[in-house]
Amino acid sequence: MRPLNPILNVDVAIIGGGIAGLWLLARLRQHGYGVLLIENDRLGAGQTLCAQGIIHGGAKYSLGGQISASTTAIAGMPELWWRSLLGKGDIDLRAARLLADHQYLWATRAPTSRLAAFFASKLMRSRMEKVADDVPAVLRHPEFRGVVYRLDEPIVDVASVLAAFAERYHESIVLNQGPVTPKADGTLTLRHAGQATWVIRPTCTVFTAGAGNAALPWATLQLRPLHMVMARGPALPGLLYAHCLGASDVPRLTVTSHYDATGRLVWYLGGGLAEDGVQRDRREQIHAARRELETLIPWANWSRAEFATFTIQRAEAQQPRGNRPAEPGIARDGRVLAAWPTKLALAPLLAERIEEMLRTLGARPRPVDLRALADWPRPDIAVPPWDREDLEWS
């Protein structure tokens, strides 16, 4: 007679090891829940490691001159992240790496850009300060014609955030071969070559798998694409973490700075360039990026820079007309939840709301012994986009 598969009872099973799943894991573990996070790829693969690492506080969403629902939802996130980065919050991220403790908004002298900057400074006065001397070195040039605001929003190295979670909660994170789907009785099957197949019996299951949540037929989501650009090489004029304001309520260009595995400086370019770029092919997008950089920072020598592009799909809860969600999204079918944070910065808010829902569904903190899975394979951290081997640089 074939022996029964071993069974593991947990309070919560989390499917998906991006920032949403890992932050939720940390919060629930800190509050005493028995949790198992299951990933079938690498931690952060997909949306999370494609994020620019900016912990937005709402200024980006107020450039049109109005306080939006997005601004209200995200307003408290920089302070919450700061507490975690300093080890003063419920979630300890002192092991994560801070790239910069602030970023900048800069505007050209074009009237529409100046107007956007005025509205942003008026609405976000507590977090923004117009600067004259404390200007990024990149913009500290006689040819620069514009206005610069310092914005108190930190920028984190996303891979190091994932690594901090993975190390601290190592025993609660496992690698599965293939997708995970709840059976009719709510159980999950955990499989990996060379391991005994386990049956996971959770009180509640939370899917935080981004686009992978589409495996749940009732979890309607939307995909909004971006065509991101990276520039690298010795020609880059230095570190920059900034939004360049344009005529619309989307930054004309968003720049963050990173170093690849060989130590080369990389500028990671998003904002309006990435949103509008979904209509362009690779060659056209690189041409558009060069044109933007040559227009906005003409004193740098861009002829020696190498460029690469890739597209990502932002997976979010379905919205009317496909608009960007103002807040994190959660869908529910019985004791199974599907969740999307919308932005990297909103992962803590999503985790808080999920925990509140779990209480109403009967999940209660209780210890769980995970030693039986001590030898189970663990997922690696995904590779940042600038270190991907499948991208073409030119």
Q: In this structure, what are the phi and psi dihedrals at residue 236, rounded to the nearest 5 degrees? A: -60, 135
Give the number of residues written for the chain: 394
Q: What is the pLDDT of residue 67?
A: 47
Task: Produce one character per residue of 127-144: b if its CB has 16 or more CB atoms within 10 Å, e if not.
Answer: bbeeeeeebbebbeeeeb
Task: Spell out the residues 6+ positions from residue 32 whose beta carbon is closer than 8 angstroms to its own.
Answer: 365, 366, 367
Q: What is the pLDDT of residue 246?
A: 87
> Options 3.50.50.60, 3.90.700.10, 3.40.50.1360, 3.40.1160.10; which CATH number does 1-53+157-220+318-372 get?
3.50.50.60
What is the Cα–Cα distance from 198 to 177, expressed in whole angstroms?
12
Which uninterrupted H or E stretch holds 288?
helix 282-296
Task: Return residue ranges of the chain for CATH 3.30.9.10.
Answer: 101-155+222-314
Q: What is the pLDDT of residue 235?
A: 85
Q: What is the pLDDT of residue 75?
A: 86
Task: Report residues of the chain scoring pLDDT below 70.
Answer: 1-3, 59-71, 110-128
Q: What is the pLDDT of residue 345?
A: 96
Whether the pTM exceeds 0.85: the reply is yes
Burial of 111 by CB count in 10 Å (0-12 exposed, 13-18 middle, 19+ buried)? exposed
- Fold observed for domain 101-155+222-314: D-Amino Acid Oxidase; Chain A, domain 2 (3.30.9)
Task: Produce one character per residue of 258-269: b if its CB has 16 or more CB atoms within 10 Å, e if not.
Answer: beeeeeebbbbb
Task: Return residue ranges of the chain for CATH 3.50.50.60.
Answer: 1-53+157-220+318-372
| Closest listed residue to residue 235, CA positions, set 173, 279, 285, 293 | 293
